[in-house]
Chain A
Amino acid sequence: MADHHDHTDDHDHATDPDLDGHTLLEGEVWEAALRELLLEKGVITPPELNDQMNRTASQSAAVGASIIARAWKDQKFKKALLANPKATIANLGHDVSTMPDLAIVENRVDVHNVVVCTLCSCYPRYMLGPPPEWYRSAAYRARVVRDPREVLIEFGLSISAETTIRVYDSTADFRYMVMPRCPPGTEDMPVKHLQTIITRDSMIGVGVPKLP
């Protein structure tokens, strides 16, 4: 039969698929209950919720990649970016007002950097978009600080024994991201092309930029 829902409540059912008849998981019950209470109390509104979901969906590592690519091409910019990331990013026209403090750590021939948040899932969202599931996993958080070399091999990245690996542990107030090394043979590549080889993983430190 046609499934006509009884709209006795006033919130937006476009964001509320819980009445489609599948058995709800415990977390789905919590989410629906929390959302409905917050909407009823006027703490949040359906448009705010939709806008926030759209904002998150539009965030990606493209912002970080474009900034790193520019730094590779422009030594003066790179120096400013490493010395004062937030102000330098703001100067490009980005709104960094709600961004926690940020450090950009530069990979060198002798030092490879990796980022984690052992206590939680702190991540430079503005630069890299939402964190991937593995970044938030207990396994990554527990293991990468203990044996980063081994973990990186699992990511397909073999770091030479002569290269020091530094693991940076992010906090709620202070986030890290990696400036990967520019691969050789890219000297004539325009920034626009360069930024396409700078992956999210290379800015977390579990990957490196690769030429196509």
Chain B
Amino acid sequence: MTDDKQAMGHTHDETRGAHDLGGFLNHLLAHGIDARISREEMPKTPYEERADAMLLLLSNAGKGLLNIHAMRRASEQFTHEDYLKLSYYDRWLRAMAALCIETGVFSDQEWQAKQQQVLSQNKAAQQRKSD
């Protein structure tokens, strides 16, 4: 009956991968995740649309640079906290960046520098806007 008991409690052994959510309602609740299913049809934001496009372009159906299994493995390595906290596309973005670094598409240094560049460009744009 151990299985049944465990099933009824919806407990999630934290040694499982963070992605392994099937049946583990209490695991979500323990991490402060809303268990209600929101059926609101939200259109993707522009950055989500571009993230989605990059994901498909890089994957098997596109260039085959990062196959879907590698991509999944990258996102399945996140901590439980990160996995549940990050939005869907933010998870994929993190996974894509990690794999690009791993496979040498770009270096970690380039990745960090580019983020800084994006941030400072954004700051400059904000400055111009308030001028």
Contact = CB atoms under 8 A, between A and B. Distances in A.
Interface of A: 1, 3, 5, 15, 17-38, 41, 43-44, 48-49, 52-53, 56, 98, 116, 118-121, 130, 132-134, 136-143, 145-146, 151, 154-155, 169, 172
A133 B57 contact: no
Interface string B19-34: 1111111011000011
B29 to A, nearest CB: 9
Interface string B65-107: 1001100100110000000101111100110110010000110
A43 B99 CA distance: 14
Given A24-B118, A133-B38, A142-B21, A121 B97 contact: no
A38 B66 CA distance: 13
A125 B126 CA distance: 38
Contact of B21 (A28, A49, A138, A154): A138
A138 B122 CA distance: 32
Please classify the interface of chain A as helix (H, G, I), strand (E, B), loop, or mixed, using the class held by over half of its residues: helix
Contacts of A116: 22
Given A52-B62, A119-B20, A151-B37, A143 B25 contact: yes
Contacts of A120: 19, 72, 75
Given A43-B65, A132-B41, A31 B50 contact: yes
Contacts of B5: none
Contacts of B41: 132-133
Nearest to A143: B25
Nearest to A25: B47
Given A18-B121, A133-B38, A119 B33 contact: no
